[in-house]
Chains A and B, each alone.
Chain A
């Protein structure tokens, strides 16, 4: 949210970091019409209808304890337009896909949303191949090799590492679930224009209540204002919660691709691939049939070149990125076109174990090559008086572990638990006391995940020198020790 928007008074958040409370000024004209004079009072106002916000609301409405809360959703985009069509073709996929962990799927099942998912568009995968682009040291992850030699696999143990799913599929399922449950006032295609604190009238002292003014002229007072409004969260700005971090000076290039086959393991044993290059990791993640989704983090300059290439040259570059040396790749990025022939020639001189890398890209779905800047951000806290942050509003993570969306699901589930406990014990769900357990529940865990992904990024940004040897050693050691691998996979799968 650009700062020109009036985002209201900054408020003190904790006993230690008080920010001076600015006097609240309200332009007279906005409240001239009597219909907006008194804001409508809600228990929960959620700004942002992304995966995190929708998941929280579905959780609240699916529970007998919290379903009585008066709840509103505000989303700037048109939620109906951004829904997955029922007859969507399995030959075309959105370029924003996420790897949902079993823990996230379980949560979506518990709130009754998972059965609304377009199941044919979800691809579980059972194996991960990760290797170092400089030294070629490799780890393969699957539950079979992760067990110890002494403990045979129990039938209850999972075989699925995670589920590839379009974000659109997740949000569409959550919206269907919300429609089924009812009871949410949805303000779609409506922006938050400003957030200010309420006023003290004779009867009521609303000076601790955020009042959200919408682009449609309405204003809503929130007992609890939830910021599920993404990385540039206006709610976070209103609450005066600092968010710290940095830009990686990397972009994530995404695309929906068709491969020459369903994968080396066939349709029933899908494999995810990730190769660490000095510019960042490139990942090929399986989708149904022969489809796959690409996430390639690279420098902004290279991202710009990749986006400018013809389909044939782009395909050649993706194939090359899994096969050729970093030196070859560096050269290929200096060409403005002709990569196709150049790659074909170089590949003839580079022996590759084809079965250890993703099958060749044969087709790129038009219009899906896109890029976005990679950032790491972490809010200082997730809660303030009558404010809670979930998802990207609270933290933005390097996508190399595919955890962004999952963290948001974990946040939504934890905030639901906090609200539910507060309701059943008569606490004011907006009070800092009631909200404390949410920050306590999530902060350390998210921080650890952000830290691990950040360190991985740094470790693999190094192209030569002793670190390369050390990290290769690490790769090989982890790969050789089954139980240790089991631990890493448990973390990746959202367990503990």
Chain B
């Protein structure tokens, strides 16, 4: 589902009024995927999994169909996912800042072990984040899930190019969505140190229930890390009107602006559930693509553009 990340990034470029990186999108197939009006708690089924569909799914079938079309150019460094590839290192910088605190804030009460971390990457797409997490020397294993079979096939085939990733248990792809994952019975043992949801929330039919499922996968003391884009007039204008209609460089139907989640909404939502109440247990970082400089952290931009948000599961939960 994550090729939309490039489009997300594209949104930011458009905001920068620079046409240059747009040429990378020339080979995106602009098949129109019909967009379903969005007033749904859950869409009724998923069309992608071979397992019988559950009664409710977080996956929007139109989204799945859409990304099947984009999948082939996922790993082309000059292809449509380029800006997404460029963003990936920032995710790691953000995560390690969450885990290790900053000089100003004290460390979380019981810091995560600095080694043998277990990751769950939700909506892993072609595996850009999952591969990089699995390569880190501090990683024990990465479980990466995505409901779109063709996208996962790309991830699997790309994984074979790196002997480190094919080490047993290092990186496991599962063709599934989060509601099919078993809920850890003993979270302190079976849950994950880091659960990541990058550029997925804006494509999910109902973010609340989706996030609740993800929260169950986080180990006490572990982190839930996500990135998405704020629902503002700028983002609507740029991603939906300029990129899709005016320029025609982003496949139509990639974005549904009404699905975008704002940072203050997310914050409040987690606080209500008792997560992130202690000062340094919730972190937000706005990021922006600046042509010529690449992705930059820009304080305050979380309220109108792309942002990372991480929240730590309380130890006693």
A residues whose Cβ falls under 8 Å from a Cβ of B: 14-15, 41, 68, 203-209, 223, 421, 423-428, 431-433
Q: Mark B59-100, 1 if CB is under 8 A from A, else 0.
A: 000000000000000000110000001101100110000000
Cβ-defined contact, A426 with B85, below 8 A: no
B89 in complex: contacting residue of A203, A425, A432, CB < 8 Å: A425
Closest 10 A/B residue pairs (Cβ): A426-B132, A425-B89, A425-B92, A15-B78, A426-B135, A205-B160, A433-B77, A426-B136, A205-B161, A432-B77
Cβ-defined contact, B131 with A208, below 8 A: no
Contact status of A426 and B163, CB under 8 A, knowing A421-B89, A432-B77: no
**B50 CB-CB contact with A under 8 Å:** no
- Bound complex: CA A207 to CA B162 (Å): 11
**B18 CB-CB contact with A under 8 Å:** no
**B14 CB-CB contact with A under 8 Å:** no
Contact status of A426 and B77, CB under 8 A, knowing A204-B160, A204-B163, A433-B85: no
**B16 CB-CB contact with A under 8 Å:** no
Cβ-defined contact, A426 with B78, below 8 A: no
What are 12 A-B residue pairs whose CB atoms fall within 8 Å in the complex? A15-B78, A204-B166, A206-B163, A424-B92, A425-B92, A426-B88, A426-B136, A427-B88, A427-B89, A427-B132, A431-B77, A433-B86
Q: Which residue of A lies closest to B89 (CB)?
A: A425
Which residues of chain B are within 8 angstroms of A223 by Cβ–Cβ distance? 162
B residues whose Cβ falls under 8 Å from a Cβ of A: 77-78, 85-86, 88-89, 92-93, 131-137, 157, 160-163, 166
Contact status of A203 and B132, CB under 8 A, knowing A424-B92, A427-B89, A432-B77: no
Which residues of chain A are within 8 angstroms of B166 by Cβ–Cβ distance? 203-204
Q: Which residue of B lies closest to A434 (CB)?
A: B89
Cβ-defined contact, B163 with A41, below 8 A: yes
Q: Which residue of B lies closest to A43 (CB)?
A: B164
Which residues of chain A are within 8 angstroms of B78 by Cβ–Cβ distance? 14-15
Cβ-defined contact, B131 with A426, below 8 A: yes
Which of B135, B160, B161 has most chain A Cβ within 10 Å? Answer: B161
How far apart are A199's CB and chain B's nearest CB, in angstroms? 12
Cβ-defined contact, B88 with A203, below 8 A: no
| Chain A, interface SS category | loop
Cβ-defined contact, B134 with A205, below 8 A: no
B132 in complex: contacting residue of A68, A204, A425, CB < 8 Å: A425
Q: Which residue of B lies closest to A422 (CB)?
A: B89
How far apart are B143's CB and chain A's nearest CB, in angstroms? 16
How far apart are A96's CB and chain B's nearest CB, in angstroms? 39
A68 in complex: contacting residue of B88, B93, B137, B160, CB < 8 Å: B137
Cβ-defined contact, B135 with A428, below 8 A: yes
A425 in complex: contacting residue of B77, B93, B163, CB < 8 Å: B93
Cβ-defined contact, B160 with A203, below 8 A: yes
Which residues of chain B are within 8 angstroms of A426 by Cβ–Cβ distance? 88, 92, 131-136
Which residues of chain A are within 8 angstroms of B163 by Cβ–Cβ distance? 41, 204, 206
Q: Which residue of B lies closest to A203 (CB)?
A: B166
How far apart are A310's CB and chain B's nearest CB, in angstroms? 61
How far apart are A386's CB and chain B's nearest CB, in angstroms? 10
- Bound complex: CA A461 to CA B258 (Å): 70
Other than the given A425-B89, A426-B136, 12 more pairs (CB < 8 A) read A14-B78, A15-B78, A203-B160, A204-B161, A207-B161, A208-B161, A223-B162, A423-B137, A425-B88, A425-B92, A426-B92, A427-B135
Which residues of chain A are within 8 angstroms of B133 by Cβ–Cβ distance? 426
Q: Which residue of A lies closest to B294 (CB)?
A: A437
- Bound complex: CA A203 to CA B78 (Å): 27
How far apart are B264's CB and chain A's nearest CB, in angstroms? 29
How far apart are A254's CB and chain B's nearest CB, in angstroms? 43
Which residues of chain B are within 8 angstroms of A208 by Cβ–Cβ distance? 161
Which residues of chain B are within 8 angstroms of A207 by Cβ–Cβ distance? 161
Which residues of chain A are within 8 angstroms of B132 by Cβ–Cβ distance? 425-427
Q: Which residue of B lies closest to A202 (CB)?
A: B160
Q: Which residue of A lies closest to B76 (CB)?
A: A15
- Bound complex: CA A115 to CA B13 (Å): 48
Which residues of chain A are within 8 angstroms of B86 by Cβ–Cβ distance? 433
Q: Which residue of B lies closest to A206 (CB)?
A: B161
- Bound complex: CA A207 to CA B157 (Å): 12
Q: Which residue of B lies closest to A69 (CB)?
A: B137
How far apart are A424's CB and chain B's nearest CB, in angstroms? 7
How far apart are A378's CB and chain B's nearest CB, in angstroms? 23
- Bound complex: CA A423 to CA B135 (Å): 8
- Bound complex: CA A421 to CA B89 (Å): 8
Contact status of A205 and B157, CB under 8 A, knowing A15-B78, A421-B89, A425-B93: yes
Which residues of chain A are within 8 angstroms of B85 by Cβ–Cβ distance? 433
Which residues of chain A are within 8 angstroms of B157 by Cβ–Cβ distance? 205
- Bound complex: CA A204 to CA B157 (Å): 9
How far apart are B291's CB and chain A's nearest CB, in angstroms? 14
Which residues of chain B are within 8 angstroms of A424 by Cβ–Cβ distance? 92
- Bound complex: CA A223 to CA B132 (Å): 15
Which residues of chain A are within 8 angstroms of B89 by Cβ–Cβ distance? 421, 425, 427
- Bound complex: CA A382 to CA B41 (Å): 52
- Bound complex: CA A14 to CA B135 (Å): 25
How far apart are B295's CB and chain A's nearest CB, in angstroms? 12
- Bound complex: CA A15 to CA B163 (Å): 26
How far apart are B137's CB and chain A's nearest CB, in angstroms? 6
How far apart are A490's CB and chain B's nearest CB, in angstroms? 25
Cβ-defined contact, B88 with A428, below 8 A: no
- Bound complex: CA A24 to CA B60 (Å): 44
- Bound complex: CA A223 to CA B135 (Å): 13
- Bound complex: CA A204 to CA B166 (Å): 8
How far apart are A418's CB and chain B's nearest CB, in angstroms? 11
How far apart are B104's CB and chain A's nearest CB, in angstroms? 22
How far apart are B126's CB and chain A's nearest CB, in angstroms? 13
Q: Which residue of A lies closest to B158 (CB)?
A: A205
- Bound complex: CA A207 to CA B133 (Å): 23
Which residues of chain B are within 8 angstroms of A209 by Cβ–Cβ distance? 161
- Bound complex: CA A41 to CA B135 (Å): 15
- Bound complex: CA A425 to CA B295 (Å): 14
Q: Which residue of B lies closest to A209 (CB)?
A: B161
Which residues of chain B are within 8 angstroms of A431 by Cβ–Cβ distance? 77
Which residues of chain B are within 8 angstroms of A433 by Cβ–Cβ distance? 77, 85-86
- Bound complex: CA A426 to CA B131 (Å): 8
How far apart are B9's CB and chain A's nearest CB, in angstroms? 14
Which of A41, A431, A433 has most chain B Cβ within 10 Å? Answer: A433
How far apart are B158's CB and chain A's nearest CB, in angstroms? 9
Q: Which residue of B lies closest to A208 (CB)?
A: B161
How far apart are A119's CB and chain B's nearest CB, in angstroms? 37
Q: Which residue of B lies closest to A426 (CB)?
A: B132
Which residues of chain B are within 8 angstroms of A15 by Cβ–Cβ distance? 78
Q: Which residue of A lies closest to B160 (CB)?
A: A205
- Bound complex: CA A468 to CA B163 (Å): 62
